[in-house]
């Protein structure tokens, strides 16, 4: 009878001794194997199992095999309810699995396949035999240092994780997320950091290889770039991390043997070029997918990484995965919104004798994409309609609402043959019951050549910044007449029209508020700045006028910018 073991409740339990000859029978199998009793406790294990698991017989016998060995893909304990081996064991039937995960004594997780079958321990005593196989022997990771690195205190670890969460979740730009991740881990934890990311086409790209020399960070672009594909069965640390299997320790010895894949070749090159003597490699992942791998390396920094460092590295990588996933989703939405709006914005019509040019700048941070638009079209009476507008809201819904308003306004303007004020009144009446837009601002104008050859502008303004008229001589003034309420207020007040003649060679500028609004400045400051620069550029060609005006005013990027510039001939 084996030595009884004391349980958490304080009582002592016993388990049956293995039958005579069972040890030699397991040795004859050749593959790693062990036998458990009806409670799932290990009775005997062969030398192959001891070698592969990194545990002696004394460390195995008497222990619950599920609790000791079985793990999930990320190395966490596997609940018994999710364990197919456990279920088959309790049902007393044979079962097998092609890919599962066992814990090694050094804290790493190995991929195994296994076969279990009922096993008679003696008269009336049943058990189960477990035979398993690791696809490749565990590589010699060279990570049992004689001199361990100085570890962070528990308080320092918690502070680092809190800072990681704060830093990485406060940006929605992928590049900025990666930059912050680098500065969080070097030189605090390592003097090298390597980030491998999996692209949306399932290709691996070595995105960052950064060395910390004191407070200075050096990016080694010669070590960055595309990587070979991820092998499906490779037991090597980076390959496992990129499959999301587990975090692992590694050293230069890990990759000195014959390479099993192109990634192993690149890893050997990395260790040789950087002089890293110890590395911790963790998957960057979310609950949905694996995004890449984070490698922390020590070259000049004394001491090696230990198994106790892996939970901290895993936590940092997990937070990085969530931040990167959010940033990717955000940028994907931004790209969709930009593409949608660019397709919705119209081509300018050709009007004999009248020059027109447009510009559209999406907000760099992507948070305000969608609501701004311009339009120009020929009306049924031969006049040219001009529109500049801004739908309240900054997302795909705003872009969709903009398209609805634009199309409705075009239809009313073509069919009604009425002044701009009446057309906008009809649009305001129909906006709430027909569209999803709650509020919007716009300027609608008509440009027509009168009998004397002069170009005449008539317009109405629904809560939008006033048009700017700049003469050829540099006299600039805002057209503040014709101003009424924005769309969507529910107030059915009559809207005014205004009319002005456009001097030959003058420039009419219609724009959205992203051109004049900036943090720390009043709206009057923005209007004065726009007028000053527009007046100075009055002699430029229309294309040059708009480009240089954008460069000089330099919109702050907090909102989209739409411009529509019109110039009658001299």
Q: What is the mean pLDDT of residues 389-398?
A: 75
- Token reading at 365: 């941070």
The pLDDT tens digits of the residues spanning 69-120 come to 988 877 778 887 778 888 888 888 888 887 888 988 888 888 888 888 887 7
Q: How many Cα atoms are found within 13 Å in the side-chain-facing hemisphere of 288?
A: 6
Q: How many Cα atoms are found within 13 Å in the side-chain-facing hemisphere of 384?
A: 22
CA 133 – CA 185 distance, rounded (Å): 36
The pLDDT tens digits of the residues spanning 290-314 come to 999 999 999 998 889 988 899 999 9
Site of tokens 């230069």: 252
Cα–Cα separations (whole angstroms), residue 264 to 16, 112, 225, 255, 527: 46, 21, 15, 6, 60
Residue 263: its pLDDT value, please? 95
- 500 φ, ψ (degrees, to nearest 5): -150, 150
Provide the pLDDT confidence category of residue 563 given band limits of 50, 70 and 90: very high
Nearest to 160 by CA among 306, 301, 316: 316
Which helix (H) or strand (E) segment is 376 a member of?
strand 372-378
Residue 521: its pLDDT value, please? 85
Question: Between 3.10.310.10, 3.30.450.40, 2.30.30.90, 3.90.1260.10, what CATH number should domain 154-333 receive?
Answer: 3.30.450.40
Query: Percent of the chain at pLDDT above 70?
Result: 87
Residue 368: its pLDDT value, please? 46
- Top-ranked range on mean pLDDT: pick from 17-31, 100-114, 222-236, 369-383: 222-236
Torsion of CA 283, 284, 289, 291, to 10 degrees: -110
Residue 461: its pLDDT value, please? 98
CA 70 – CA 200 distance, rounded (Å): 32
Residue 367: its pLDDT value, please? 46
236 and 329 in contact (C-beta within 8 Å)?
A: no
83 and 90 in contact (C-beta within 8 Å)?
A: no
- Token reading at 532: 């000053």
Neighbours of 272 (CB within 10 A): 12
Provide the pLDDT confidence category of residue 148 given band limits of 50, 70 and 90: very low
Residue 185 confidence (pLDDT) above 50: yes
Provide the pLDDT confidence category of residue 460 given band limits of 50, 70 and 90: very high
Give the chain's mean pLDDT: 85
Q: Do domains 154-333 and 345-567 have the same CATH topology?
A: no
Residue 138 confidence (pLDDT) above 70: no
Is it true that domain 345-567 has CATH number 3.40.1440.10?
no
Site of tokens 């791998």: 293
Residue 435: its pLDDT value, please? 86
Spans of all domains in the chain: 5-133, 154-333, 345-567
> What dotted CATH number matches 5-133?
3.30.450.20
Cα–Cα separations (whole angstroms), residue 160 to 6, 138, 145, 293: 39, 32, 25, 19
Which helix (H) or strand (E) segment is 102 a member of?
strand 95-103
Nearest to 322 by CA among 167, 430, 433: 167
On whether the pTM is more than 0.75, the answer is: no
DSSP category for residue 536: H
285 and 241 in contact (C-beta within 8 Å)?
A: no
Site of tokens 């590049």: 175
State the Cα angle at 240 between 239 and 246, rounded to 5°: 150
The pLDDT tens digits of the residues spanning 334-372 come to 676 666 656 666 677 888 889 999 998 876 554 445 578
- 316 φ, ψ (degrees, to nearest 5): -65, -45
279-295 b/e with 16+ CB inside 10 Å = b? bbbbbbbeeeebbbbbb
> Who wins on pLDDT, 345 or 376?
376
CA 146 – CA 144 distance, rounded (Å): 7
């Amino acid at each position: 009878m084996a030595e009884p073991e004391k349980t958490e409740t304080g009582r002592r339990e016993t388990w049956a001794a293995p039958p005579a000859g069972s040890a030699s029978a397991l040795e004859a199998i050749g593959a790693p194997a062990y036998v458990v009793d009806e409670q799932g406790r290990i009775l005997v294990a062969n030398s192959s199992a001891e070698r592969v698991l990194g545990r002696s017989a004394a460390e195995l016998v008497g222990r619950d095999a599920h609790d000791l060995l079985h793990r999930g893909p990320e190395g966490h304990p596997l609940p018994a309810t999710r364990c197919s081996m456990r279920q088959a064991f309790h049902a007393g039937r044979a079962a097998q699995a092609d890919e599962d995960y066992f814990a090694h004594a050094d804290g790493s997780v190995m991929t195994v396949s296994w076969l279990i079958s009922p096993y008679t321990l003696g008269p009336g005593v049943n058990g189960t035999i477990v035979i398993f196989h690791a696809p490749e022997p565990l590589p010699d990771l060279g990570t049992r240092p004689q001199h361990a690195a100085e570890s962070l205190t528990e308080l320092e670890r918690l502070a680092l994780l809190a800072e990681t969460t704060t830093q990485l979740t406060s940006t929605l730009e992928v590049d900025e997320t990666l930059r912050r991740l680098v500065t969080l881990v070097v030189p605090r934890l390592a003097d090298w950091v390597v980030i491998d990311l999996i692209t949306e086409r399932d290709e691996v790209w070595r995105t960052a290889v950064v060395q910390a020399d004191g407070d200075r960070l050096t990016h080694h672009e010669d070590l960055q770039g595309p990587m070979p594909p991820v092998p499906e069965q490779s037991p090597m640390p980076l390959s496992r991390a990129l499959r999301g299997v587990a975090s692992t320790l590694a050293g230069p010895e890990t990759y000195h043997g014959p390479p099993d894949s192109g990634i192993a070749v690149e890893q050997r090159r990395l260790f040789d070029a950087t002089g890293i003597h110890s590395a911790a490699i963790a998957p960057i992942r979310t609950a949905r997918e694996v995004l890449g791998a984070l490698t922390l390396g020590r070259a000049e920094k004394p001491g090696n990484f230990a198994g106790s460092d892996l939970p901290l590295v895993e936590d940092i990588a997990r937070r990085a995965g969530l931040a990167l996933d959010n940033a990717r989703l955000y940028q994907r939405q931004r790209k969709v919104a930009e593409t949608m709006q660019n397709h919705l914005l119209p081509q300018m019509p050709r009007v004999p004798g009248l020059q027109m040019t447009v510009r559209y700048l999406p907000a760099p941070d992507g948070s305000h994409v969608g609501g701004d638009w311009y339009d120009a079209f020929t009306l049924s009476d031969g006049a040219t309609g001009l529109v500049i507008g801004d739908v309240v809201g900054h997302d795909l819904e705003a872009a969709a609402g903009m398209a609805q308003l634009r199309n409705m306004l075009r239809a009313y303007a073509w069919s009604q043959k009425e002044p701009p004020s009446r057309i906008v009144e009809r649009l305001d009446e129909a906006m709430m019951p027909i569209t999803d837009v709650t509020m919007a601002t716009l300027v609608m104008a008509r440009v027509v050549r009168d009998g004397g050859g002069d170009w005449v502008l008539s317009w109405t303004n629904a809560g939008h910044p006033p048009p700017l008229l700049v003469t050829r001589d540099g006299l600039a003034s805002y057209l503040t007449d014709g101003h009424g309420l924005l769309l969507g207020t529910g107030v059915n007040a009559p809207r005014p029209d205004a009319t002005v003649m456009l001097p030959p060679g003058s420039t009419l500028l219609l724009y959205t508020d992203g051109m004049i609004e900036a943090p720390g400045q009043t709206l009057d400051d923005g209007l004065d700045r726009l007028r000053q620069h527009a007046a100075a550029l009055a002699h430029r060609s229309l294309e040059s006028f708009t480009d240089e005006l954008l460069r000089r005013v330099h919109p702050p990027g907090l909102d989209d910018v739409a411009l529509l510039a019109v110039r009658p001939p001299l």
